[in-house]
Structure 1
Amino acid sequence: MLARAWGLTRSLAMYHGIPGRHRRMRRFYAQFLRPGDLAFDIGAHVGSRVRPWRRLGARVLAIEPQPDCLRVLRLFFGRDPGVTVLPVAVGAHAGHAALALSSASPTVSTLSRDWIDTVTADRSFAGVRWDRTVEVPVTTLDELIARHGEPAFCKIDVEGYEVDVLRGLSRPLRALSFEYLPMAHDAMPAALDLIERLGAQASGYEYNYAPVETMHLASDRWLDADDLLTLLDRYRPRNRSGDVYARLR
């Protein structure tokens, strides 16, 4: 219980306690969201994106399966009619799955055992322990869109389960992002292939990268998939995570 309280407190301090953080997020996400738009926050955690997106006038679907984080989301946003909190995970198929929880580091809770095996080989994860599991319901992006509408922007941050989330999407979205970890770089081609196939239904996608919650794009121009991989190769030796952004051309 002490580890869970400490982990949640650390997340709140990290994502809500840094001065100017939400202001920087508002400026950054204004390029993707306008008043009245719908945004999906897949892996909402403690709602660091929800607050700035609401300040931009967007409606938010906050999707989070972790019980402790759900309590925070409902406390912060439960009375906001512009926010819908869903206690589910998102994957390739609807059903149920085992969510591996890290009490002391809830940001790395995951549905992917393969991802755990990958990252624990890196020394930056040496102190992380996944000490319990809960069974959670799983839905798909297609089902969420059918029920709530198509989002103008979709953030996917699900600790190694991003490809599975994308496999549950059958239409191109206007813009989306997903987490990138250098030690899990080998998953990038599969994620980009899925996005490129979706983009082929429309005008195609272009990409950029923002390192480590900087809210600053690494390239001064938007890139094709091959150029994005070249850019990410420059960040791999630094072992710095971040988010890949994709938007329709």
Structure 2
Amino acid sequence: MSSLRTALGLGRSLAIYYGRPWRQRGLADLYRGFLGPGDLAFDIGAHVGNRTRAMRRSGARVVAVEPQGAFAAFLRMTLPGDVTLIEGACGATVGEADLAVSRLHPTVSSLGPLPGAGAQAPGFSHVRWDARQRVSVTTLDALIAAHGLPRLIKIDVEGAEPEVLAGLSQPVPVVAFEYLPALPGPAAAAVSRLEALGPYSFNVVQGEARRFLWDDWRTAAAAHDWLAARAPDEGSGDLYARIGP
């Protein structure tokens, strides 16, 4: 039963992220605005690899980090050989941690607060975190020491974004991270962390859109105000932060 639930969860994620190919093309176009041939990108929370593949289509070199064993195995078999795959998680310090896994809804498996708050969070009441997996944890600083300074870091770790950014001690040109209106604290903390690291400006991609919400890039204060105005039952999306006005 356990392996069946894991297989069903993998199938669900593949359908979500590869079932509409035009979305993948749009994602690649979005990344081309930041990445070019030879640039380095980190995909933190690679899951089924759709973002890794979109980054690679720009010509970028990609380091993909994924803690869930079944998904890391899938990526190991299916990603191009020039992608560096690390089976593990990112956090504030190097070590180990227990990953809360939802086998039927693996997109929301996390080291962050979502599993504990899930029963009360709008949109997550149907989810059960029914397994634990001990995972190795590295930091963004350790990845930079091993692979170089990336042009772009994408972080999608279901509420653990602040912990990931706590392991980064220097600004990078572009950081993209998920926001969850049902759990607003982590995204706000991530904005504050980036604001402390450098002169970042911000923009928003809502849901599965492949374009920015704002015509201009805005301040951290504007990003905080926008996050605070979200209704808890609104859909998730990504905040992009870049160095400069």
Q: Is 43-52 or 188-197 further displaced after alignment?
A: 188-197
Q: TM-score with structure 1 length normalisation?
A: 0.93
Runs of 4+ with >3 A deviation = none
Compute the displacement of 1:181 (Å). 0.3
Structure 2 gap ranges (5+): none
Compute the displacement of 1:54 (Å). 1.2
Matched with 1:229 is: 224
Secondary structure at the counterpart of residue 50 of structure 2: coil
Superposition map of 1:97-176 within 5 A: 97-112=97-112, 114-176=113-175
Task: Report the count of equivalent residues.
Answer: 242
CA shift digits 1:38-79 (9 cap, x unpaired): 0000000010111111111001001001001011111111x5
Change in 2 beyond 3 A, CA 1:108/1:237: closer
Compute the displacement of 1:125 (Å). 0.8
The answer to whether the aligner puts 1:247 opposite 2:245 as a matched pair is no
Matched with 2:201 is: 206
Q: Which amino acid is the alignment partner of residue 226 of structure 1?
A: A
Compute the displacement of 1:184 (Å). 1.2
Matched with 1:33 is: 35
Q: Is the 8 A contact 1:118 1:183 kept in 2?
A: no
Q: Which amino acid is the alignment partner of residue 75 of structure 2?
A: L
**Hey, what's the Cα distance between the residues in 2 that align with 1:221 and 1:237?**
25
Q: Is the 8 A contact 1:177 1:243 kept in 2?
A: yes
**Hey, what's the Cα distance between the residues in 2 that align with 1:186 and 1:96?**
24
Q: Is the 8 A contact 1:41 1:50 kept in 2?
A: yes
Compute the displacement of 1:228 (Å). 1.4
Compute the displacement of 1:187 (Å). 2.8
Matched with 1:4 is: 6
Matched with 1:80 is: 81
Q: Is 165-174 or 50-59 further displaced after alignment?
A: 50-59
Q: Is the 8 A contact 2:48 2:74 kept in 1?
A: yes
